[in-house]
Chains A and B, each alone.
Chain A
Amino acid sequence: MESRNIKESPFRNIDWFTVVIYLLLVIAGAISIYAASYDFDNSSIFDFNEFSGKQIRWVFVSLAVGFILLLIDARMYETYAYPIYVAMVFILVVTIFIAPDIKGSRSWIVLGPISIQPAEFAKFATSLALAKLFSGYNFSLNARGGNYVRALAIIFIPIMLILAQRETGSALAYLALFFVLYREGMSGLILLAAAFAVVIFVVTVKFSETVTMGITTGEFSVFVLIMITMVSMLMVYCRNIMATRNVLVWFVGTGVIATILYWCGVAIPGYWYFGVVIGVASIYCIIELIKTHSKKILITFSTVALSVIFLFSVNYVFNNVLENHQQMRIKVTLGLEQDLRKAGYNVNQSKIAIGSGGFAGKGFLKGTQTKLKYVPEQHTDFIFCTIGEEEGFIGTTTVMLLFILLTLRVISLAERQPSAFGRVYAYCVASIFIFHFCINIGMVIGLCPVIGIPLPFFSYGGSSLLGFTLLLFILLRIDAARRGQSRNF
């Protein structure tokens, strides 16, 4: 009987800590939007014609939706995970065709006075589907290759569809789900490889304008980095002392010879030099591989080979795949371009806004940067500026602290879930929060390229607020049901 009671009254088991942080963020968000869109002759925070008024309406909608979500039986989410996902995918497809072109993007469905962005709602659907996949009996990511394919398919279908809507930022957010795969058994090497790829990319692009040994300094540095990686992997990962010694001697020896020749005025072309040096080392690895059949040597060899291939594709990708404005944003972040009028304008003005806030900020509604519209998109993607300008360092760190608390809380909720479904879903939520947090604040303070994604609960926009509310409250409902479930088992 008791378990029935619990099922019927999820509010007794709800994680109030999360709810409180949620409410704090949402209220702070609405106030920030009011501040960001405040004008001199502007009136009330509740004025429905203004962003803040609209946002407050969306806050109430979100609270109502959250309340309704808590009333739905937790098992419904698991049961209907795939149908919801399929429906969402269908909507995403439809969106591509029926959405009007708004600033080059076709991601908004206009329903009379309101527009919604299905990409924001697809997040919870994708998370549910991924959780459902992992909750299969004895499902293990590494058990069969097919499992990877299914998991990746669930992630990449919405990514492709959202890219087709030309919403690159939103699409990239789904990549955060790789954290979930990692938690569920994917090799950490893949994350490391991704990190290494980012490093290669950054170094190649950042130092692409100076020349060392006939190749760009970026390429030169990456070659050296690859050599260091190769030696380190042989030593730490393969623990093959002989191979480490041989390769190291080879690298250092040829390096010394090349340097001496350089001093003597003989410049060896960079590609030739690194081609020969790394090529010979790789052939040596293959010989070792044939002798030992060591999987680790194979991985080392693959890393080197893929890195070299990646290096050569960076320039191609950068110049041919990325669009002009994306190239500029990356260059601005890497400090290669100033262009304070165009590509660098947002970030520069947003840095000025945040920087001018000082320790305690200029005071509520006293920010000049944001009031006078120096920061574009200040009520949406750049909302963090308003906080930085008006509430200062205290405000920015407090908001960040709230996000970290929320995310860590979600991770701890995840780990206390009795079922794989609940855990995977919770990790999906945490991952998406982490991604939004890192990218949004990173771009506002000039550490990441500008990628147009909102700051959860803060940025103006009903779809975004409602999307994140759905994401979080479904988790709260699943979490609230966990005790009842565990007793039922």
Chain B
Amino acid sequence: MRKDYNLEKRKYVIGGFLILIAIIYVVRLYELQIADNRYKEYADINAFLNKTQYPSRGLIYDRNGKLIVYNQPAYDVMMIPRDVKELDTLDFCHTLNLTPDQLRKRLSDMKDKRMNPGYSSYTPQRLISHLSAEDYGRLQEKLYRYPGFFIQKRILRQYAHKTAANVLGNIREVSSNDISRDPYYQSGDYCGDLGVEKSYEQYLRGEKGVEILIRDAHGRIKGRYDNGSKDVAPVSGRNLKLSLDLDLQQYAESLMVNKIGAVVAIEPSTGEILALVSSPTYDPTLLVGRQRGANYAALVNDHEKPLFDRALMGAYPPGSTFKPGQGLILLQENIVNLSTAYPCHHGFISGGLRVGCHSHGSPINLKPALQTSCNAYFCWGFKALVDKRSKYGNPAKAFEVWKNHLVSLGYGYRLGVDLPSEGRGFIPNAKFYNKIYGEGRWSANTIISVSIGQGEILATPLQIANLCATIANRGWFITPHVVKEIEDTVMPSELLEKRIPTIEAHHFNDVAEGMRMAVTGGTCRLANLPDIEVCGKTGTAQNPHGRDHSAFIGFAPYHDPKIAVCVYVENAGFGATFGVPIGSLVIEKYLTGSISPQRKYLEQRMLESNTKIYSGVKKH
């Protein structure tokens, strides 16, 4: 047997070659299977079609259970670009009533990473939104011809009543910002914009579900993954019950037609907002569906700014509605007592300064001063407080004390209403005046106009109404809010807690009495309802724009308040001209459900009058 041992060594070459190749392959397999995680994703993208199941959005009811906002199905045309094969463009356009150019534009917009940052040819993309029922029907029939396309059911908001647009808000498609802020959103989703739609988005939107479908190499759906055990069912959004009284809201809105301003009505014992009117308002149905974009732009550009919620964001001089608050501070700080009287000879005259007043008896103490809205009384009182160096050291310190009381009454800062974009008004502090006049170079006379709610003082109608509610409650308030109940959820505690100002409760009785006197025999006599004890205070606020703003605060009944109201009508003249009638009508309507015949003329006048014409405001 011959055997060449030299050649036998070659077995090592052959075996070695095999082992070398095997090592290369193991390295490659390591790279594919362990080092590189992308393949897992690719496989999932291949195999799973995650079909989003959209929940139905929570419905919105008024405080009496009347439906205001509900849903209507809408249909979006979706496409998975990768799966689209040999599309007969002309036929497709014909089905959807589009021109080929429109389709091309839509396609290029869809692929534009700036406009649609979530674009991927592997995931469903929205091609056309809100198909009309007719187009939907046509497309549904032909859908089998267009592989890669499907119809996604969505919801659109529908409004049972065209009211309270500022409170309700609307929904819009999420922007790229929304998507980057909250991973819940995907391109094409909707989210709340303005109103409770925005502030209660978390509750209203529900939770999206997902149906995981298995898809084979030809794009055919092979069934549900794991028999649907990994699917997530959508959770419907929670329904909201607003604290708004739909009838009252509509009534207040009708009274505010052709006027610019706000009406806020609060149930004092709960802080629930019964009506929140910003005028001019708009029709919430304008911001639904395909026309939303154009209509929204028109609203933004409207010079009367209907999207600007005057009730929450408008910063107005409170004028004489400020006086009850003033009275409270003076009493609390022991500057005045009920018998303290100040002279008023048609005004406050001090050191060459004069603040005018109207005719009434003199000297005058607190309750009659509230009754007659005496400027001089509150100027003297304010001067006595700010200039009381014996107690406070200097005017700046005194002013800070005054300011802190106001803040505790809800002025100067946001109250925390459960709506987006609340304004904070403006209450100056000592530093502010130091900056303007120099430290130690100002005193009560310098800033005397703040004592009657003019000058630098600004407040939102909501804050003014809240102060009224605080007086109605005789010394406490609950943060005003528009949502009464969230279905299956406890209301946030901060909307239920009592907030107690730094004023002792018994002082409120005196102020309330003064406000009652204003109705029975003072500036608010128009609010004197036959069966209901109304308390009120007018306000006539000077402003640089035109005629005075007409304001009114009031609550009723006197001893068991059920409603506190603030009416603010821009450039409408005396508080008694528009503020008192509108406010008293709102109170009467809410408490009795109707307007008594002898006051019908007042209602008629308010419904028909137009303050815009005589506002004295220069049109821009």
Asked if A461 CB lies within 8 Å of chain B CBs, one says no
**Known contacts A183-B14, A393-B33; is-contact A372 B26 (Cβ 8 Å):** no
- In the complex, B25 has a CB within 8 A of chain A: yes
User: Which of the 9-residue segments B16-24, B261-269, B313-321, B549-557 touches chain A?
Assistant: B16-24
In the complex, chain A residues whose CB is within 8 Å of the CB of B303: none
Chain A residues with CB under 8 Å of B21's CB are 434, 437-438, 442
**Given A372-B216, A388-B29, A393-B29, are A356 and B18 neighbors across the interface (CB < 8 Å)?**
no
Q: Flag whether B40 is at the interface (Cβ < 8 A).
A: yes
Q: Does B435 contact A (CB under 8 A)?
A: no
Given A354-B39, A411-B14, A447-B24, decide whether A372 and B214 contact each other with a Cβ distance below 8 A: yes
Residue on A nearest B47 in the bound complex, by CB: A368
- Is A414 interfacial (CB 8 A cutoff)? yes
Which residues of chain A are within 8 angstroms of B222 by Cβ–Cβ distance?
Answer: 40, 372
- With a cutoff of 8 Å between Cβ atoms, the chain A residues found around residue B436 in the complex are none
The answer to whether B33 and A355 have CB atoms under 8 Å apart is: yes
B residues within 8 A CB of A45?
Answer: none
* B29 x A352 contact (CB < 8 A): no
| Distance from A151 Cβ to chain B, minimum over Cβ atoms (Å) | 15
B7 touches A397 (CB 8 A): no
In the bound complex, do residue B217 and residue A374 qualify as a contact, i.e. CB atoms below 8 Å apart?
A: yes
**Residues of A361-379 whose CB lies within 8 A of B:** 368-369, 372-374, 376
Residue ID in chain B nearest A39 by CB atoms: B222
Contact B223–A40 (Cβ < 8 Å): yes
Residues of A within 8 A of B32 (CB): 351, 354-355, 388, 445
* CB pair B25 A442 closer than 8 Å: yes
Considering the complex, which residues of chain A in the window 32-68 have a beta carbon less than 8 Å from any beta carbon of chain B? Answer: 40
On whether the beta carbons of B33 and A357 are closer than 8 Å, the reply is yes
Q: Does A275 contact B (CB under 8 A)?
A: no
B7-44 Cβ-contact flags toward A at 8 Å (1 or 0): 11011011101110110111011101110101110111
Would A352 and B42 be within 8 Å (CB), given that A407-B18, A489-B1 are in contact? Answer: yes
A356 in contact with B42 given A372-B222, A388-B29, A489-B1 (CB within 8 Å): yes
Cα–Cα, bound, A489→B2 (Å): 13
- Mostly, the B contact residues are helix
Chain A residue numbers with a CB within 8 Å of B38 are 355
Question: Would you give the 0/1 interface string for A8-28, flagging 1 where the beta carbon is closer than 8 Å to chain B?
Answer: 000000000000000000000
Whole-angstrom CA separation of A483 from B214 in the bound complex? 59
Q: How far is the CB of B371 from chain A (nearest CB, A)?
A: 82
Interface size class of B (residues with CB under 8 A): 35 or more
Task: Kindly list chain B residues whose C-beta atoms are within 8 Å of the C-beta of A355.
Answer: 32-33, 36, 38-40, 42-43
Within 8 A of A (CB), among B206-250: 214-218, 222-223
> B121 CB to closest chain A CB, in angstroms?
12
A404 CB-CB contact with B under 8 Å: yes
Q: Chain A's nearest CB lies how many Å from the CB of B47?
A: 4
Query: Would you call B15 and A415 a contact (CB within 8 A)?
Result: no
B337, CB-defined interface residue at 8 Å? no
In angstroms, Cα B29 to Cα A437, docked, is: 15
Is the CB of B108 closer than 8 A to any CB of chain A? Answer: no
In the complex, what's the smallest C-beta–C-beta distance from B45 to chain A, in angstroms? 9
Candidates B11, B28, B29, B46; contact of A183 at CB < 8 Å = B11
**CB atoms of B14 and A369 under 8 A apart:** no
Q: Which residues of B contact A182 (CB under 8 A)?
A: 10, 13-14
Q: How far is the CB of B602 from chain A (nearest CB, A)?
A: 75
Determine the distance from Cα of A81 to Cα of B47 in the docked complex, in whole angstroms.
51
Instruction: Give the docked Cα–Cα distance between A434 and B36 (Å).
Output: 28
Question: How many Å from the CB of B42 to the closest CB on chain A?
Answer: 5
Bound together, the chains give a CA A357 to CA B222 distance in angstroms of 21
Smallest CB gap from B17: residue in A: A434
B25:A373 contact, CB within 8 angstroms:
no
Taking a contact as CB atoms closer than 8 A, the residue among B13, B18, B34 that contacts A408 in the complex is: B18
Q: What residues of chain A lie closer than 8 Å to B14, measured between beta carbons?
A: 179, 182-183, 411, 427, 430-431, 434
| Complex: chain B residue closest to A41, CB-CB | B223
Other 11 A-B pairs with CB < 8 A, given A183-B7, A434-B21: A182-B14, A355-B36, A355-B43, A400-B22, A408-B15, A411-B11, A414-B11, A434-B18, A437-B21, A442-B21, A447-B28
Closest 5 CB pairs of A and B: A355-B39, A356-B43, A368-B47, A372-B216, A355-B32
- Please, could you name 10 A-B residue pairs with CB atoms under 8 Å apart, sorted by A? A351-B39, A354-B29, A356-B42, A369-B47, A372-B46, A373-B218, A374-B217, A431-B14, A437-B21, A442-B25
- Where the two chains meet, the residues of B that have a C-beta atom closer than 8 Å to any C-beta of A are 1, 4, 7-8, 10-11, 13-15, 17-19, 21-22, 24-26, 28-30, 32-34, 36, 38-40, 42-44, 46-48, 214-218, 222-223
